Structure formats: C-alpha cells, structure tokens
Chains A and B, each alone.
Chain A
Amino acid sequence: MTENQDFLKRLLTLPGLSGFEDPVRKVIAEEWQTLVDELKVSPLGSLHGLKRGYGPEPRPRVLLAAHMDAIGLMVTSIQEGLLRVTAIGGVDPRILPGTPVTVHGRRDLPAWVAAPPDHLLPPSQAGKPVSLEYLLVDTGLSAQEVAELVRVGDLVSFNTQPVELSGGVIAGHSLDKGASVAAVTECLRTLQQMKPGWDVWTVATVQEEITMAGALTSPFDLRPQIAIVVDVTFAKGPGASDYRAFEMDKGPMLGVGPNIHPAIFQSFKTLAEELDLPCAVEPMPAHSGTDAFGIQVVAEGIPCMVLGIPLRYMHTPVEAVMLKDIRRTGWLMAQFIARMEMNFMEKVRMEDAE
C-alpha cells in the first residue's frame, strides 16, 4: 500500500475540478501506465485503461469506475482586485471563510476565501453564514496584478495539504475522488499477480460531481457486461450518525437498491463473507448518488455494483478516510474479478436473486 499511499497523496495535492480534470488525469495515467495494457482518453476526458484478461477471445469486459473530478470554485467576476466565485459541484459555503485556495490564473496564485463583515452585507445576511455570492477570494495582489493574471472562468481549487491522522487515517481535500481512484489502482496492482479471465477496463470518469457526463458516455463504446462503481460514502462521525453513515475500518460498504443488480450484490456479499471482510450493506433506496446512476442506463442497460468507502466530512477541504478501507476495497474487487468465470453472466440472471 505504501506505493499506493504515495500515489494517493500526490492526487490530493492536485487540482482537477469537474470539467477540468487534465492535471489529475495525467498523474493517474502515469500510475496506470505500467499496470494496464492500453490507455485511452475519451472525448470528454475520461481515462480508460485496459488490462487484458487471460480467457479465450472474445472476452467479456468488466468496467471499474471511479470518478476523478473534484469540487471547487470558479471566478465569476473581479472587483477591486478581489474575486467573486461560484461553486463547481456541491460546495457548502459555510466551510469556505478562511480556507486557503489556489487561483489557477495565468499562473497559480495562493489565495484565501474572505467573508466581508455583516455591515457590508445585505441586512438579511446579518448573523448568518455568508452565502457564496457575497464571499470573496483575496490573492493579496494589487488590483492591477490581478487584472493581468486572472480572468472570468478561471478555476479556484482547495489548497490544503494532505495530513496523516492517527490510526492510519489520511485527511485532505478531494479525498472523495482520491480514495476511489486509489482503490481501483490498488485493484489493478493486486490483479498483476492474478490471471483473471475477463478484460478489465478501469475508467476514471469526469464530471461526476455535476452532470455524471463521464458515467453516461464512457460505457457507450466500451459496452462492459458489468460495471463496478467505487465511490465514497458517509463515515460515522460528527453530524453523521443515522443509517446513512457507516463505521470507518468496516469498508467497503456494499450498495443495495435500484441502481444495483441484485445478483451481483449477492455474489459480492457471499465473497466478502468467504473472505471474512466486515462489509456492511448500504441501502440506496432510489438514486445511489454515484456513477452507477448513469452507467446503469447506458444503451441497453449495464448491470452495476456499488462499493462505498466510508469518508468523514464529505465535500470539505478536510475529508478523512482510513487507508485500510481503500486497500480492502481494491482487494475485494480484485478477488471478485479473479473469480469471475467466463460464463459468469449466466449465473447472475435477474431471477436468481429472488
């Protein structure tokens, strides 16, 4: 895992906002280069890696999806050298005041999010968390320098450096994407020592946080027989205590619900029990909130499974995840893929789950 840990830390220092995933895609491509047989980039920028199976051709295909985009901000206007911003993805404006960010202008500029005092805001805002439209980003530069270096449409990403907390927990911004990509990478590494029959397509999708454009499009050409989607889910912690949150160190969570094929869920559950992994079942009554929502309805339909890695403080710059949960998620996927027989699809017909 240390190899993977370094990779994860590197991911956490990179910008890669939805729709602008280039920087993070380059690093993932570098990492996957040695682990797959082929690498491609989709028209929308999703990264597709193919690790050929050992079964006879034509081989069936399993798609592993993790999204690589992160939430962040975008400059909407410049006023007296200060920047007004809008959100890309679901940003809670309450965590922004005082947060260090990077403005990706003509060059990267360190900056901080500033909240004006109440008396400079509309009376309706008094005493309330300052809403995004009134927050400012201050680069510390003069108005003239800002005018030269920053334009409307420039991106602003979080600039917190990853940190290790006690007990094998890593914290930082955009762990949301980082943890899932790291789990898929861990799976690829594990598969190097195995001889799976199936072709494995690993896909780092774009724009999950906004339109799921990557999930809706990448499977169209790849046409996998099955897709396994890895994403983060809520870990129990401050503010997250009901049934939607799960213990750290108990990952991955196995999703169940309309986005998930019941027989594939059952196969995963059986395997996890066999392997003595402490996987909890995560009820997803309607929309799973993951790429599976998009992938499942591509073309004639693609059976999906969702694995969740428990994560605290989702969509803040201090998301926290336990490395063990990432490792186990990757390992479980690899074990599953290695055991998939060439006729696996015949064994997971809808009827069998009932």
Chain B
Amino acid sequence: MSTHNTHAFELPVIGAEQIALLEKLSNAVGISGDEGEVRKIVLDEIKGLVDQIIVDSLGNVLAICNGEGPDPLRVMLAAHMDEVGFMLVEEDAPGLYAFAVVGGVDLRHLPGKMVQAGKQHLPGVIGAKPIHLQEKDENGRAIPLTSLRIDIGPGGKGKLKPGDRAAFATAFQQVGPSIIGKALDDRLGVATLIEILKRRPRQLTLQVAFTVQEEVGLRGARVAGYALNPDIAIILDSTPSYDLPVWDGEENIRYNTRIGCGPAIYTVDGATINDPRLIKFLAQIAERHGIPFQFRQPGGGGTDAGAIHKTRGGVPSVSISVPGRYQHTAAQITRTDDWTHTLQLVYAALHGLDRSVLAAER
C-alpha cells in the first residue's frame, strides 16, 4: 500500500492543550451564515502553520500546505465551522424576539432553554406557558415555533435587531470520560484539523477547508471543493449516537453509531456513497495501528462530502465522524477517547496516504 514506514511516528493524543482549544471553539457562536467568531479562532490558531490562507466570499477558511517532492497528492480535509441555532426575525415586545430556526433542530428541544443572542452574547431564555394555565390536552402537543420567543428581558428593547443570531448557552465541560458542550458538531472536526496542521505529513499537499453553512445545505463545501480541486477529500464531522435502550427492551438496531467504539467511518449516507477504496484504506490503517473504529450505519444524513465529491469532474471522498449523543440540542456528549482515536486515525491515514490508493478503478 504505502512506501512510508507507518510505525516511525507516535500517534497524537488529546491533552489539556487540545481540550482547551475545543472548549474555546465549543463556547464560540457560529450559526450557519454567521461564522465569524469561529473563523477568528481558526485563523488565529493556524497562523504560521500553513503556506497560504484564503477567506473566500462565503467565509470559508481555505488553508494550503504545499507538499514536498514533485507532483504531491492534493488532499482536501474539511470540517464545518457552523452550528445550528436561531435567527431573530422580529421584536414584537420590548426584549421579546420572534425567531426562526437555522439548521435541523427538533422544536421539542427548545422550550425552557438558556440562549445567548447577538454579537454581544446577551443572555436570554426561551420560556413556555406555565403548566397551570395550559388547556386540557395541551401538554400532548409540541409547542409550535410561532408561540416561542427569545426573551432577553424588557430592558433589552432595541438591543438586538432582525437578522441577529442566537445560540444555545451551554458552557463546555469535561466530566469523567466525556466532554459535554454545544456545537461539538462540528467543532470537534475543526479542532481535529487544527491539531493535524500542527503535525502535518510533508509528502502531501494539504488543502484544509474550514467550511461555512454545512447545516443549511453544504454550501460552503461546494465552493471550497471547486476552488481547491483536490485529488482526494477526507471530511471530518460529528455524527449522532442513538445507542440508547429501546422502549420494549428489544435489540437496538438503529443506533447509527455507538459512543466509545471509536471514529465512525461512513459507507453510505443520504448525500454520499463514500469511495470504497478510501473506506478500505482507512480500515486497514486503523487495524494496522490498533485504532478502534466503527462503520456508521448506512442511512440518511450527510456531511460536506455530499457537496465536495460532486465538484468538477468528481472527487473520491470519505467521511469520518466523532460519534456523540444528543446532537443539535443544547448539549452533546462525546467520549474523549473517541476523539483521540479519530485524531489518531486521520493522522495515521495521512502519513500513509499516496496515489496507490486510487490505482484501482472505483
């Protein structure tokens, strides 16, 4: 497969420095279309690590590291900076804002949550009608978006305006074997890419894309893929673990991924049939280095790969996710070990990657 000695390096681990980076990224707010805060952190972190940085017209950060030797393989790595959240659309009473949801959020997760609104991160709440005042049967129905408001308090009159964004207000924390925070989808991927840039393989030209607007249709990835025109793309994301008990006690057959079982390699999702050559390559690398991994159950959903693999004449692509429970809610829970193993898998894969992986026809 590869001529590189795959045992000549140590696999990276997640330590205090990496956790601090993830904490910073998780606590930052970057709703799809308004990723500036996250972008600023990314630009700051990668400064000096790469040969060229471009911020494109959608706000993607494209960072290029030129490979050594003649005609190096061009490998695109992508992770999205944006997160699901809210856009304020109207102030209909002092400090009370009607809002729209940006990205896929289950409305049943909104009532009773703390949020942060606007560039100033003003504290706010999403309330609900007191249980005492509810009509009969009312608690059997989900509360519609039209009757929810973001409330920053009556003194907040005029402090925010339509078009401002709001996000869940959950502070990042580490608890035992887990990390908990909002927007770990996909700040985990963003942090992983930054760590990769700190110890990048020299034989490849790395085209690292920190993308925007993934949660509203993979829009950043589409133009990033076109601009970078890579030979291969590896997409890092975070995917749900529905590995919870089933109500009737039967075997859970629709878990998507399981936490604690290592990085999830994609086969088929709603947007991409991942390149079988790259899937096989990743599995072999993982086995060789003793890195645990799992296959994400084929099904719906998708990653930036959905846009990237269709750019220009086509790009062989594969996605890898850190699994996590309760995505797109106020708090995601991920096992630190899964992140470690994801970083290790990507690192080992990049050091072992060369053109031979594409030698056979797909």
A contacting B, Cβ–Cβ less than 8 Å: yes
List, sorted by A's number, 8 A–B pairs whose CB atoms are closer than 8 Å: A286-B216, A300-B57, A300-B226, A301-B227, A302-B57, A353-B36, A354-B37, A354-B119
* Residues of chain A with a CB closer than 8 A to B216's CB: 258, 286-287
B263 interface residue (CB < 8 Å to A): no
B90 interface residue (CB < 8 Å to A): yes
Q: A286-B102, A301-B223, A354-B40 are in contact. Are A258 and B213 (CB under 8 A)?
A: yes
Chain B proximity of A353: nearest CB distance (Å): 7
> How does the 8 Å CB contact mask read for A319-354 relative to B, with 1 for contact and 0 for none?
000000000000000000000000000000111011
Contact of B163 among A259, A281, A296, A297 (CB under 8 A): A281
- Whether A283 and B57, one on each chain, are in contact in the complex, defined by CB atoms closer than 8 angstroms, is no
- Whether A258 and B88, one on each chain, are in contact in the complex, defined by CB atoms closer than 8 angstroms, is no
Chain A proximity of B18: nearest CB distance (Å): 26
A285 to B161, CA, bound (A): 13
* Residues of chain A with a CB closer than 8 A to B39's CB: 350-351
- Whether B32 and A286, one on each chain, are in contact in the complex, defined by CB atoms closer than 8 angstroms, is yes
Q: A243-B98, A354-B119 are in contact. Are A297 and B223 (CB under 8 A)?
A: yes
The closest CB in chain A to the CB of B87 belongs to A285
A259 to B162, CA, bound (A): 16
- Whether B32 and A258, one on each chain, are in contact in the complex, defined by CB atoms closer than 8 angstroms, is yes
Contact residues of A: prevailing secondary structure? loop
* Residues of chain A with a CB closer than 8 A to B162's CB: 243, 256, 281-283
- Whether B161 and A281, one on each chain, are in contact in the complex, defined by CB atoms closer than 8 angstroms, is yes
- Whether A300 and B227, one on each chain, are in contact in the complex, defined by CB atoms closer than 8 angstroms, is yes
Q: Which of B25-60 contact A (CB under 8 A)?
A: 32-34, 36-37, 39-40, 55-60
> How does the 8 Å CB contact mask read for A275-287 relative to B, with 1 for contact and 0 for none?
0000001110111
* Residues of chain A with a CB closer than 8 A to B146's CB: 242
19 other A-B residue contacts (CB within 8 Å) besides A261-B57, A301-B60, A301-B226: A256-B163, A257-B87, A258-B32, A258-B34, A258-B102, A262-B34, A281-B161, A281-B163, A283-B87, A283-B88, A286-B103, A286-B217, A296-B57, A300-B227, A301-B58, A350-B55, A350-B59, A354-B36, A354-B37
* Residues of chain B with a CB closer than 8 A to A297's CB: 58, 219, 222-223
A302 to B55, CA, bound (A): 13
B271 interface residue (CB < 8 Å to A): no
Count how many pairs of residues, one from A and one from B, have CB atoms less than 8 Å apart in the complex.
Answer: 88
* Residues of chain A with a CB closer than 8 A to B219's CB: 258, 296-297
A257 to B59, CA, bound (A): 13
Interface residues, chain B, with chain A CB atoms under 8 Å away = 32-34, 36-37, 39-40, 55-60, 87-90, 98, 100-103, 119, 146, 161-163, 212-213, 216-217, 219, 222-223, 226-227
**Number of residues of chain A lying within 8 A (CB) of chain B:** 27
- Whether A285 and B89, one on each chain, are in contact in the complex, defined by CB atoms closer than 8 angstroms, is yes
> How does the 8 Å CB contact mask read for A296-324 relative to B, with 1 for contact and 0 for none?
11011111000000000000000000000
The closest CB in chain B to the CB of A345 belongs to B57
* Residues of chain B with a CB closer than 8 A to A302's CB: 57
- Whether B100 and A285, one on each chain, are in contact in the complex, defined by CB atoms closer than 8 angstroms, is yes
Chain B proximity of A60: nearest CB distance (Å): 13
Contact of B89 among A243, A286, A301, A353 (CB under 8 A): A243
* Residues of chain B with a CB closer than 8 A to A287's CB: 216-217
- Whether A350 and B36, one on each chain, are in contact in the complex, defined by CB atoms closer than 8 angstroms, is yes
Contact of B57 among A256, A257, A286, A301 (CB under 8 A): A301
A244 to B99, CA, bound (A): 11
* Residues of chain A with a CB closer than 8 A to B102's CB: 258, 285-286
Chain B proximity of A327: nearest CB distance (Å): 25
* Residues of chain A with a CB closer than 8 A to B217's CB: 286-287
* Residues of chain A with a CB closer than 8 A to B36's CB: 350-351, 353-354
The listed residue with most A CB atoms (<10 A of its CB), out of B32, B40, B60, B223, is B223
* Residues of chain B with a CB closer than 8 A to A285's CB: 87, 89, 100-102
- Whether B32 and A299, one on each chain, are in contact in the complex, defined by CB atoms closer than 8 angstroms, is no
* Residues of chain A with a CB closer than 8 A to B33's CB: 257-259, 286
- Whether A299 and B55, one on each chain, are in contact in the complex, defined by CB atoms closer than 8 angstroms, is no
* Residues of chain B with a CB closer than 8 A to A259's CB: 33
Chain B proximity of A176: nearest CB distance (Å): 23
A353 to B35, CA, bound (A): 11
A285 to B33, CA, bound (A): 9
- Whether A299 and B223, one on each chain, are in contact in the complex, defined by CB atoms closer than 8 angstroms, is yes
A259 to B40, CA, bound (A): 20
- Whether A303 and B57, one on each chain, are in contact in the complex, defined by CB atoms closer than 8 angstroms, is yes
